[in-house]
Amino acid sequence: MLHTALFLLLACSDPSFAARHKAARHRAAPRREAAAVRVSTGAEKAAAGRPEPARVAVSTTELKGLISAERQVRGIHLTCWGAGSAKTRRELLKKISGSVINAVVVAIKETDGKVYIPGVEQASRYGAHENAIPDPEAMLKDFKGAGLYTIARIVVFKDKILPKARKDLAVRTPSGDLWRSRNGATWLDPYNREVWDYTLDIAERAARLGFDEIQFDYIRYPSEGDTSLCRYSKPHNRQTATRNLGEFLEYARKRLSPYKVKISADVFGLTTTVKNDMGIGQDIATLASGADYVYPMMYPSHYYSGEYNLKNPNSQPFKVIDRGLKDAMGKLGPNYAKLRPYLQDFSLGWHYGPHEVRAQLLAARLNLLDSWVLWNAGNKYTWAALTPQSYRAFVDPYYK
């Protein structure tokens, strides 16, 4: 049955199917950013005489054992407004009840710097609090009552509020002004320990409320603009950048240890494949060593033409996820068991429906992973692909 399902899903890349859609434009999806520079894949490096990333030997049997020992998470990301509204939450929980979804990721702090839960003193002081989740206790009671694993997503270093209120905490230019990306966004200095404490004040509040996991997003350095002008509080290069992010996770674990929560990090999708840190400090092996889980954002729409030798990666979701995860397995060894890929459930230059969503889920499972999270900026998920019947027919025949 799996082979039949795979054949049907891969029909998405057939020219007769592709002709019904427009070519992908490869721009960033709402609220999630693509890499600012193109990075060659291993195959292209080999063709150019450059070495591929070193592979870590690990047996499939060992990985299966490590993965089965972890909680299996099949999640969806929810906006603060969707999760915080009692009415919208009831509607979502009704849909979830008829699906294979067993986890929710809730946006607690976003890229605009706003903090959506009450009770964080510093956020209120700097005007960052927005009352999108007015009763987080009731929200968590509803989610946990439905048997859902709860994850608080917190954007770390991209912030439009605190850098303006506290210029000394921001990434700045040589003249001392705020450094800005091409779209005017500002960033907090990833080396500044006061920035760390501000982030972890928010994380502690979420942990006290009862979230099961704290997920750090934008745990990286700026990339969308003239980064040669970025000035930090400490010397900055590839080595210091990757080491610093690893140290942030160590510090976070110590601060959050009294709450018994898991910690995780979101990373660019191509970190599963590339040898370097992509110029943003994200070395997936380093972050996997410091976190309980790592979430590579493997949206096919975010891969440039030519990645994995695919002319239009957006039109071939199975191949993108399959090749990216195979590379990750070779790079991470036993820590591959910590991967929970973010997968695409939105249309951006190519229509994504049940076939495309199932293709990604199947690719994850064929690479040993039953844990994943779907992303849609408007909470509009392809529920037809997430019913138990659909999941058994196309992804996991043994799902109960």
Residues 292-351 have pLDDT tens digits of 999 999 999 999 999 999 999 999 999 999 999 999 999 999 999 999 999 999 999 999
248 domain-assigned:
yes
Q: What pLDDT does 56 receive?
A: 74
Instruction: Tell the burial category of 216 from Cβ atoms under 10 Å away from its Cβ (0-12, 13-18, 19+).
Output: buried
Residues 6+ apart with CB under 8 A from 139: 83, 84, 89, 106, 133
399 domain-assigned:
no
Spell out the SS3 assignment of the chain.
Answer: CHHHHHHHHHHHHCHHHHCCCCCCCCCCCCCCCCCCCCCCCHHHHHHCCCCCCCCCCCCHHHHHHHHHCCCCCEEEEECHHHHHCHHHHHHHHHHHHCCCCCEEEEEEECCCCCECCCCCHHHHHCCCECCCCCCHHHHHHHHHHCCCEEEEEEECCECCCHHHHCHHHECECCCCCECCCCCCCCEECCCCHHHHHHHHHHHHHHHHHCCCEEEEECCCCCCCCCHHHCECCCCCCHHHHHHHHHHHHHHHHHHHHHHCCEEEEEEEHHHHCCCCCCCCCCCHHHHHHHCCEEEEECCHHHCCCCHHHCCCHHHCHHHHHHHHHHHHHHHHHHHHHHECCEEECCCCCCCCCHHHHHHHHHHHHHCCCCCEEEECCCCCCCHHHCCHHHHHHHCCCCCC
Q: What pLDDT does 79 receive?
A: 98
Residue 164 CA to residue 187 CA, distance in Å, equals 10
Q: What pLDDT does 105 receive?
A: 98
Number of domains in the chain: 1
Look at 275 and 388; give whichever has higher pLDDT. 388
Q: What is the torsional sign of CA 281, 69, 154, 248?
A: negative
- State pLDDT tens for residues 255-270: 999 999 999 999 999 9
Confidence of residue 19 (pLDDT cuts 50, 70, 90): very low
Residue span of the structural domain in which 324 resides? 2-394
Q: What pLDDT does 54 receive?
A: 62
Tokens, residue 52:
């591929």
For residue 357, give the CATH number of its domain. Answer: 3.20.20.80
Tell me the CB-side half-sphere exposure of residue 250, using CA atoms within 13 A. 9
Q: What is the torsional sign of CA 97, 99, 102, 108?
A: negative
215 domain-assigned:
yes
pLDDT at 17 over 80: no
Q: What pLDDT does 52 receive?
A: 52
CA angle (186 as vertex; 263, 343 as ends), nearest 5: 45
Chain mean pLDDT for the chain: 89
Residue 192 CA to residue 211 CA, distance in Å, equals 26
Rounded percentage of the chain residues whose pLDDT exceeds 70: 86
Q: What is the mean pLDDT of residues 146-154?
A: 98
382 domain-assigned:
yes
Q: What is the mean pLDDT of residues 122-150?
A: 98
- State pLDDT tens for residues 47-99: 333 345 567 777 899 999 999 999 999 999 999 999 999 999 999 999 999 99
pLDDT at 39 over 80: no
Q: What is the mean pLDDT of residues 95-113?
A: 98
Residue 109's identity, in one-letter code, is K
